[in-house]
Structure 1
Amino acid sequence: MIINKHIMRTTNEKQVLQQIVNAGPISRSQISRNLSLNKVTVSDIYSQLLHEGLIREVGHGVSTRNGGRKPVMALLNVGYGYVVSINILRQRFSMITSRLDGRSENYASVSTRDVDLTTVLDMIDEKIAATVAENDNRLLGIAFGLDGTIYENQILGASLKGFKNFDLAKYFSDKFQVPVVLENLANESAIFERDFAGEGLYKNLISVTIRDQVSAGIITEGHLYRGHNGEAGNIGTCPLADRYQEKNVQTVNQYVAEGTVLQRIMAYQKLDRVDVNRIRRDYLGHRPELLAILDEFSYYLAKVLGNLSNTFAPDAIIVNAPILELLPEMMDSVRKYVDDMAILRKAPLLLTKNAKEASLKGGASAIIHKALGLDDLQLTFSNQRSAVLEGVES
Structure 2
Amino acid sequence: MIINKHIMRTTNEKQVLQQIVNEGPISRSQISRNLSLNKVTVSDIYSELLHEGLIREVGHGVSTRNGGRKPVMALLNVDYGFVLSINILRQRFTILTSRLDGKSHDYASVSTRNVDMTTVLDMIEDRINQVVEDHENRLLGLAFGLDGTIDDNQILDAAIKGLKNFDLAKYFGDKFNVPVVLENMANQAAIFERDFSGEGVYDNLVAVTIRDQVSAGIVTNGHLYRGHRGEAGVIGKCPLADRYTEQNHETVNHYVSETAVLKQIMECQGINRVDVNRIRRDYLGHDEKLLKILDEFTYYLAKVLANISSSFAPDAIILNAPILELLPELMDSVRGYVDKLAIPRKAPLLLTKNAKEASLMGGASAIVHKVLGLDDLQLTFQNERNVVMEQIES
**Distance in 1 between residues matched to 2:244 and 2:129, nearest whole Å:** 53
Counterpart of 2:188 in structure 1: which amino acid? E
SS in 1 for 2:178: coil
Q: Which moved further from structure 2: 271-280 or 121-130?
A: 271-280
Which position in structure 1 is the counterpart of 2:251? 251
Which position in structure 2 is the counterpart of 1:375? 375
List structure 1 runs of 4+ shifted beyond 2 angstroms: 197-200
Which position in structure 1 is the counterpart of 2:293? 293
> What do the CA deviations read for 1:109-138 (whole angstroms, capped 9, x no partner)?
011111111001000000001001111100
Counterpart of 1:133 in structure 2: which amino acid? E
**Distance in 1 between residues matched to 2:38 and 2:153, nearest whole Å:** 38
Report the TM-score when normalising by structure 2: 0.96
**Distance in 1 between residues matched to 2:157 and 2:383, nearest whole Å:** 36
Which position in structure 1 is the counterpart of 2:232? 232
Contact 2:187 2:218 in 1 (8 A): yes
Contact 1:28 1:39 in 2 (8 A): yes
Contact 1:84 1:96 in 2 (8 A): yes
RMSD: 0.8
**Alignment of 1:206 onto 2:206:** yes
Distance 1:383 1:357, change over 3 A: closer
Alignment of 1:15-26 (within 5 A): 15-26=15-26
Contact 1:335 1:349 in 2 (8 A): yes
> What do the CA deviations read for 1:338-386 (whole angstroms, capped 9, x no partner)?
00001001000000000000000000000000000000000000168xx
Contact 1:197 1:353 in 2 (8 A): no
SS in 2 for 1:344: coil
**Distance in 2 between residues matched to 1:197 and 1:128, nearest whole Å:** 28
**Distance in 2 between residues matched to 1:345 and 1:383, nearest whole Å:** 29
Q: What runs of 5+ residues in structure 1 fail to find an aligned partner? A: 385-394
**Distance in 2 between residues matched to 1:198 and 1:210, nearest whole Å:** 24
**Distance in 2 between residues matched to 1:198 and 1:52, nearest whole Å:** 28
Contact 2:87 2:145 in 1 (8 A): yes
Give % identity: 79
Distance 1:249 1:383, change over 3 A: closer
**Distance in 2 between residues matched to 1:69 and 1:198, nearest whole Å:** 33
**Distance in 1 between residues matched to 2:3 and 2:325, nearest whole Å:** 51
Which position in structure 2 is the counterpart of 1:50? 50
SS in 2 for 1:164: coil
Cα offset, 1:174, TM superposition: 0.2
> What do the CA deviations read for 1:136-183 (whole angstroms, capped 9, x no partner)?
100000000000000000000111111111000000000000000000
Counterpart of 2:117 in structure 1: which amino acid? L
SS in 2 for 1:281: helix
**Distance in 1 between residues matched to 2:94 and 2:122, nearest whole Å:** 14
Which position in structure 2 is the counterpart of 1:284? 284
Q: What runs of 5+ residues in structure 2 fail to find an aligned partner? A: 385-394
**Distance in 1 between residues matched to 2:20 and 2:318, nearest whole Å:** 29
Alignment of 1:293-372 (within 5 A): 293-372=293-372
Contact 2:196 2:383 in 1 (8 A): no
**Distance in 2 between residues matched to 1:380 and 1:296, nearest whole Å:** 38
Contact 1:199 1:382 in 2 (8 A): no
Counterpart of 2:55 in structure 1: which amino acid? I
**Distance in 2 between residues matched to 1:354 and 1:292, nearest whole Å:** 27
Counterpart of 1:261 in structure 2: which amino acid? V
Which position in structure 1 is the counterpart of 2:86? 86
Report the TM-score when normalising by structure 1: 0.96
Which position in structure 2 is the counterpart of 1:389? none
SS in 1 for 2:160: coil
**Distance in 1 between residues matched to 2:45 and 2:335, nearest whole Å:** 50
Contact 2:204 2:314 in 1 (8 A): yes
Q: Which moved further from structure 2: 145-154 or 110-119?
A: 110-119
Q: Which moved further from structure 2: 270-279 or 21-30?
A: 270-279
Q: Which moved further from structure 2: 25-34 or 199-208?
A: 199-208
Alignment of 1:3-18 (within 5 A): 3-18=3-18
Cα offset, 1:64, TM superposition: 1.3
SS in 2 for 1:145: strand
Give the number of aligned pairs.
Answer: 384
**Distance in 1 between residues matched to 2:92 and 2:140, nearest whole Å:** 24
Counterpart of 2:262 in structure 1: which amino acid? L
Counterpart of 2:355 in structure 1: which amino acid? A
**Distance in 2 between residues matched to 1:181 and 1:303, nearest whole Å:** 33
Cα offset, 1:198, TM superposition: 4.4
> What do the CA deviations read for 1:292-339 (whole angstroms, capped 9, x no partner)?
111110000000000000001111100000000111111010001000
Contact 1:185 1:209 in 2 (8 A): yes
Contact 1:200 1:380 in 2 (8 A): no
**Distance in 1 between residues matched to 2:383 and 2:279, nearest whole Å:** 34
